[in-house]
């Protein structure tokens, strides 16, 4: 606080600034103005000058809004690409991953392709397994050949 002596000899001070009036605390139970700024009283599980840092251990599957387009939740993060919550759908057939004149058909979280002389092959996050007329195998854009 800056003080100045007035004509009567009494100290004059600047008007008090109420910093908490702007609601600077994010996850708090209260805010207190201090001589140098403000102090937030953080809710349980939150810390930081503005109670902006979550320190609560995340529960398995705690990804906020969840993961779209088949993304897997790992702690608080979605394991997928692209988009923070996997909201950007990947067009697997766009890179033309089917070899030998195969035809690619998009399905939810998988792509189905068939070559002229072979049974249909479903590619996606499934484990290897042989079913009647359909062969399942893992698929990723890195090895799609596109």
In this structure, CATH architecture of domain 3-54: Ribbon (2.10)
Instruction: Give 98-109 pLDDT, tens digit per residue.
Output: 666 666 666 555
Instruction: Give 118-131 pLDDT, tens digit per residue.
Output: 555 444 444 333 33
Q: In the chain, what are the domain boundaries?
A: 3-54, 92-143
Q: Predicted confidence band at 23 (pLDDT cuts at 50, 70, 90)? A: confident
Helix/strand/coil for 120:
coil
Report the chain's terminal Cα–Cα distance, integer Å. 65
> Cis (ω within 30 of 0) for the bond into 82?
yes
| Confidence at residue 35, expressed as pLDDT on a 0 to 100 scale | 86
Instruction: For residue 9, report the phi and psi dihedrals to the nearest 5 degrees.
Output: 90, -5
- pTM given for the model: 0.32
For residue 45, what are its two tokens?
A: 């599980």
Q: Predicted confidence band at 136 (pLDDT cuts at 50, 70, 90)? A: very low
Instruction: Give 38-58 pLDDT, tens digit per residue.
Output: 999 998 877 888 888 777 654
* pLDDT greater than 70 at residue 143: no
- Of 144, 146, 112, 105, the closest CA to residue 131 belongs to 112
Calpha distance 35→132 (Å, rounded): 76
């Amino acid at each position: 606080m800056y003080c100045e002596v007035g004509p009567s000899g009494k100290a004059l001070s600047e008007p008090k600034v109420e910093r908490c009036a702007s609601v600077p605390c994010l996850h708090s139970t209260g805010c207190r103005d201090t001589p140098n700024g403000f102090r937030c009283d953080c809710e349980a599980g939150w810390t930081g000058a503005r109670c902006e840092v979550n320190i609560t251990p995340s529960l398995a599957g705690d990804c906020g809004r969840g993961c779209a387009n088949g993304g897997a939740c790992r702690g608080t993060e979605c394991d997928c690409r692209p988009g923070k919550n996997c909201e950007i759908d990947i067009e697997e057939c766009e890179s033309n991953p089917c070899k030998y004149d195969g035809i690619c058909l998009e399905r939810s979280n998988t792509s189905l392709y068939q070559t002229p002389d072979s049974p249909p092959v479903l590619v996606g996050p499934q484990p290897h397994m042989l079913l009647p007329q359909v062969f399942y195998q893992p698929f990723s854009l890195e090895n799609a050949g596109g």
